[in-house]
Each structure stands twice: as C-alpha cells, then as structure tokens.
Amino acid sequence: MLPHGLLPSGQRSLFRWFVQHGLQAGDLGLEEVWWLFLQARENPRAELRLAFLFTPHWQQHFPDALTVFGWSRFADWVDKTYGAGSVSQRLAVSSDFLEPALQIRIAYLARTSWRDEHPDALSNKAAALGLLQWLESSEEAQIGPEARAWVAGLNGQALIPDLLKPTVNVIGHFCYPSGLRVSVEAMIEAMALAGVRTSLRDIRTDARDDPQHVRFDGLETGDITIIHAQPEPFFAEAYARADLVERMPRTYRIAYWYWEFDSIPDAWSAHAAQADEVWTATEFIARGLRERLSVPVSTLFPGVTLAPFQVRERAYFDLDAHRFTFLFTFHMMSVMERKNPLGLVRAFKMAFSADEPVALVLKTSFGDRHPEQFRELCEAVAGFPTITIIDQVLSSDEVLSLMHACDAYVSLHRSEGLGLTMAEAMLMGKPVIATGFSGNMDFMDEENSLLVSYERVKVGRPIPPYDADLEWAEPSVEHAAQLMRRLYEEPEWAREIGARGRLSAEKNLSLEKAGRRMAERLSEIDALRRSATPPTNLP
C-alpha cells in the first residue's frame, strides 16, 4: 500500500494511516508506532532495503537494486517516483547490503548480456573468473565506474567458491505455529548439515502468525525452489503471500506436500502442473501421489530433532505431579475427526477409573475456530477430572517441555501423513501407543512402539477437505485401553519400550541422514537439468 511509508517522503501518510486504522488492526500501542518511526529516521537505509525486499513490484523492475550494479538506478527512480528526499545522498551508493558473491549472482541473473557472454559463469571456475575479469575491464559489461572499481577490489580467487556454491530457495510457513513450520525448519537444518545453502522466505497465513516475517527475506537467488506449502489453500498464492516476485524464466520448482490418505484429491493435479517434481515425507503419501501425478515424486523425510527446551515441572502446566500421565497433542485446524481425540477419551475411560492416579492431557489449539468440535470434546471429558484439555498456543519450547513432563504418548489417529509428535516422543524416550496405520508406519513397528489394531473404513461423510469415499483407519478402543493399562501397571516394560523407540528414532530419523538424502537428490536434479534429461520418480 505504502512501500515508501518509512522513507522521509512517505512517513506523514503512513503515520496518518496508523492513527486512523493501524493501531487497532495491528493491536499496537501509540508508543510502539512512535518507536517504529524513530528507528526509521535513524536508519533510513535499512528501511529502504526492507521495503524493497517485501515489495514485489520493485523487485520485478529492479531485480539488482541491492547490488552495487543496480542501486543508483533504483535510488534515482525512488526519488523521482516518491519525491525528492526519499533517498538521501548518503544512501546513494550501496556495496554492502549483500555479500559480494551474492551481488554478482543477482546481477548476473538480471542481465541477459552477462549470461550470453559468460553462460557457464555460475557453474565453472574458469568461466567465473572470466566473468570477473570481463566486469573489471570491458565496456561491454555496461557498469558504472564505481561498480567497476568495486569488482577490481575483490579477491577473485577467494570469491569464486562462494559464487559457484548452489543455493536452494525455500518458501514455507516459518511463522505459522504448526507441524508445517516444524517440518520446514527441520528440512532447512538438515540441508545445512549436508552443506546445502538456502535462501528462506515466509508464507504469511493470518494475523496469528508469529511476528517474524521480516526475518525471512531471502530472494530467489538459487536455481531450485522448494515450496513447502500445501496445495490448498496457499500453494498457488505462495509468492504473493511471501511478498516475493517470481524469477523469470522460473526456477526448477519442487512442491513439498503432506496428505493424510493414500489417494489424493483430483484438484491436486492442477497444482502439480505448476511444479517440476513433488517431494513428500513418507511412502504412505508418495504412493497416492504417484498414482495421480505425471511429475516425479520422491520420498524425502525432513528429519526430526528435539530443539533445546527448558525442563519444567508439571505444576507449570497445572498438572498433578503424582499421576502417571498420558499425552496427546493435536491442532484443531488439522481436522479433529482425523486426529480422533474422542476415541482416545473413550479408551482412557475404559482403561481407568476416575479415582486411579492416572491422567490424560489433550493439548490442542485454536478451539475457538472450531467451536462445535471443541464443544464436543469438552462434553466428552466432562465429569472425568483426570482428563485435562489445554487449548492454547504454546511456544515450541513449552510444547516439548510438556511432552517431557508426561510419561507416555498416545495417538489414536485415523490417518497421518507423517506423525511428527509420535517421532518427537520416541526421541524423548517416551513409550508411544499409536494406530498402526498411515505415515507413522515409516518409522514405527512392533519393536519400537505399541501399535493399535484397526479396521479400514470409509470416512462416510464429507469432512472438508476430505471426501466421504476416502478410507482411513478406525482404531480399536479396546486394544488401546489394554495397552494404556499395561504401560501404567508395568513401569519397567514402559521404560524398555521407550528406550527401544529412542534408539530406533535416533538411527532412522536424524537430520544428518535426511540432509544427505536431500543433498543427493538436489545434486541429481542439477545434473539432470544441465544434461536436459527429464528426472524420474525416486523412492
């Protein structure tokens, strides 16, 4: 709306908007707004940089604005468009917004003449050195004297390894408190461990996102882009919601998708047409994708790790320290019928009486967005004081702390694409009871966990986004109750199950292993692109 709002020429208009609309819409105090404008006045250079990074129109017309090669032209345009004084004289030259290798890469991607003259400059050491020498000495490069002097001052031999190192662009939900955020964060950490450099961009969802959007300001500087967002509702809007212009010609595009069934909706085929291949976390999902999609599908687990967290006593969560406590965590936005906490409540009531020293904790969030389902859940636990519902958005640290404070984890899901919380509980050494069906079966078996028997049934009625004819599991409440009872009565056996689960998870779910597989696939894609050979499905 006002991309120049924090520049001198736009501050009056933006401040007026804040006073009239923004204070209430953004849940801000007047002192916070004053602080924002004070910071902008003290560092207008940083504000202009941020404005560029989150204004797609500017990115499209001035793709190299944050480089020494394109800054002056961009700054002149800002002054002409938004009024003299928008960019002060001390902002007229920019050589340190970005690392030198990144500046050269961005300018190279923005200039057809550079690419025509040095087509292998980003993949070949000799060609990269030739590009640097050409920029320093040739008038055909069409760069100004300041830029030429800047190139001359670079240590070309030291710069080239960084210039040639591939970058993968990742667009995903880095600020949305959900399993999708945990997944994309794990993917980034895994690739980093494998030496893969990434450029990160957040996809906004709504006002309840963590206010960290500006931290994820990477541009599409790599030749491969992973869009870690579901086909619906945000895949088609990923670039717009990330405030990012698509590079043209576009990059090789990978969609990273989750699904909870072994067949996918018809509509996904249209979304897949916007990608060159699809990655997913488990073979359970991949089978359904391969049946419907013509693009390659690879199973690439994102890796699971336990972030550092504070160990808290149960009293922090208002829980009884003297009860054997089962935990289940789920997101109301993930369809309560699929997560099946009502089945778990029935199993717990079947296994234990209200006067036994046993508790069940149901950790959820966004109950207010699904009032009917949440009311049904509350009615199911009414009169059973040993079942606690926590409907609150906790920090990642608190969620792990809660899991650590409990004795066992239970999931009577009807279907899961992955089953992240089960994997996290196993890594903590907690015994895990879970339905023996769907994505969690990629890492769970009879040795490392307690699998609940089930019958495969149709959903039976439309439960958006699921059709009535899809099939999922109906876990046995009786079997789950038996397993819960045995864990409570045989603590030594419970510890043994937990220990076996931890060893298995540490071996099979590590970020290092996941990162190596992703790096291998990215290298294959790069080689296939250079040879112009179509990629194929991989397990």
157 token code pair = 């031999």
Q: Can you give the CATH number for the domain in which 373 is found?
A: 3.40.50.2000
Alpha-carbon span 327 to 36, nearest angstrom: 42
Q: At residue 125, does pLDDT exceed 70?
A: yes
Does residue 198 contact residue 192 with C-beta atoms inside 8 Å?
Answer: yes
Do 417 and 468 lie in one domain? The reply is: yes
Give the count of domains, the chain.
3
Alpha-carbon span 193 to 189, nearest angstrom: 6
Please tell me the pTM assigned to this model: 0.84
pLDDT of residue 41: 60
Do 338 and 475 lie in one domain? The reply is: yes
pLDDT of residue 92: 45
pLDDT of residue 267: 87
The answer to the question of residue 129 being in a domain is no
Do 246 and 326 lie in one domain? The reply is: no
Q: Can you give the CATH number for the domain in which 192 is found?
A: 3.40.50
Do 352 and 455 lie in one domain? The reply is: yes
The answer to the question of residue 309 being in a domain is no
Do 192 and 217 lie in one domain? The reply is: yes
The answer to the question of residue 223 being in a domain is yes
Does residue 171 contact residue 139 with C-beta atoms inside 8 Å?
Answer: no
Do 344 and 398 lie in one domain? The reply is: yes
pLDDT tens column, 37-75 = 566 565 667 777 888 898 899 999 999 999 999 988 888
More confident residue, 148 or 22: 148
Do 447 and 380 lie in one domain? The reply is: yes
Alpha-carbon span 152 to 180, nearest angstrom: 45
The answer to the question of residue 106 being in a domain is no
pLDDT of residue 505: 96
Q: What is the mean pLDDT of the chain?
A: 89
The answer to the question of residue 350 being in a domain is yes
Find where tokens 């196993």 sit.
426
Domain end among 82, 97, 112: 97
Residues in the chain, overall count = 539
pLDDT tens column, 402-428 = 999 999 999 999 999 999 999 999 999
The answer to the question of residue 153 being in a domain is no
pLDDT tens column, 1-34 = 556 555 666 556 655 655 556 555 556 666 655 5
The answer to the question of residue 200 being in a domain is yes
Note down the domain range covering 199.
167-303+513-531
How many percent of the chain have pLDDT more than 70?
A: 87
- Buried b / exposed e over 454-463, threshold 16 CB at 10 Å, is beeeebeeee
Does residue 284 contact residue 441 with C-beta atoms inside 8 Å?
Answer: yes
Select from 156, 475, 460, 238 the least CA-distant residue to 342: 475
Select from 160, 106, 104, 116 the least CA-distant residue to 140: 116
pLDDT of residue 26: 56
Grade residue 79 by pLDDT with cuts at 50, 70 and 90: confident
Q: At residue 84, does pLDDT exceed 90?
A: no
Do 9 and 91 lie in one domain? The reply is: yes
Cβ-proximal residues to 379 (8 Å cutoff; 6+ apart), any chain: none
Q: At residue 89, does pLDDT exceed 50?
A: no
Alpha-carbon span 200 to 188, nearest angstrom: 9
Does residue 190 contact residue 514 with C-beta atoms inside 8 Å?
Answer: yes
The answer to the question of residue 16 being in a domain is yes
Do 375 and 413 lie in one domain? The reply is: yes
Domain end among 97, 113, 138: 97
Domain end among 64, 97, 130: 97
pLDDT tens column, 453-511 = 999 999 999 998 899 999 999 999 999 999 999 999 999 999 999 999 999 999 999 99
Exposed, middle or buried: residue 406 (CB in 10 Å: 0-12, 13-18, 19+)?
buried
Do 206 and 326 lie in one domain? The reply is: no
Classified as helix, coil or strand, 504 is: helix
pLDDT tens column, 191-218 = 999 999 999 999 999 877 888 888 999 9
Do 430 and 286 lie in one domain? The reply is: no
Do 318 and 244 lie in one domain? The reply is: no
Select from 341, 402, 399, 411 the least CA-distant residue to 370: 341
pLDDT tens column, 285-325 = 999 999 999 999 999 999 999 989 999 999 999 999 999 99
Mean pLDDT of 140-153: 91
Alpha-carbon span 430 to 310, nearest angstrom: 17
